[in-house]
Amino acid sequence: MEAFKACGADSIITIGAHYDTPHGVACAMMLPLVMEYNQDCTGEKYREIARAMGVAGVDEMTQEEYRKAAVDAVKQLSADVGIPEKNEKVREEDLDVLAADAYADACRPGNPRDTSVEDLKALYRKIMP
């Protein structure tokens, strides 16, 4: 999924490397956040994600509605299988290193939305306790 492979991949690799967070857990924690971050650059792709996630009435939704529905469905799936929304290990004093490492990752330039170190810090703050 383009909305995730770049910005999501670099942030996940960084979380795993710094905190020994299992890759799948980091993926599930970051996916809805990165989806929200990239949603304005995804065209109609989230309509298909919402449909695949079983969201009813997708064809009657506006783009804004089906994008939100797709993100909400992914969040719900993570909650249903016990994925935490927060990573207790991530601290404010770590954000400079985390964001710099994620920004330097080879996947970042492929993100659908331009990404800055500050944007990455903001994403990490969303998983902080």
Return the sign of the alpha-carbon dihedral for residues 95, 100, 106, 110: positive
| pLDDT at residue 27, as a whole number | 86
Where exactly are the structural domains of the chain?
2-125
Quick check: 6 and 106 in contact, CB under 8 A? no
| pLDDT at residue 10, as a whole number | 58
Distance of CA 41 to the CA centre of its chain: 14
**Per-residue pLDDT tens digits of the chain, which is 129 residues long:** 444 444 555 566 678 888 888 888 888 899 999 999 999 998 899 999 999 999 999 999 999 999 999 999 999 999 999 999 999 999 999 999 999 988 887 677 778 888 899 999 999 999 999
| CATH number for the domain whose boundaries are 2-125 | 1.20.1090.10
Question: Among candidates 119, 89, 127, 92, which has minimal Cα distance to 103?
Answer: 119
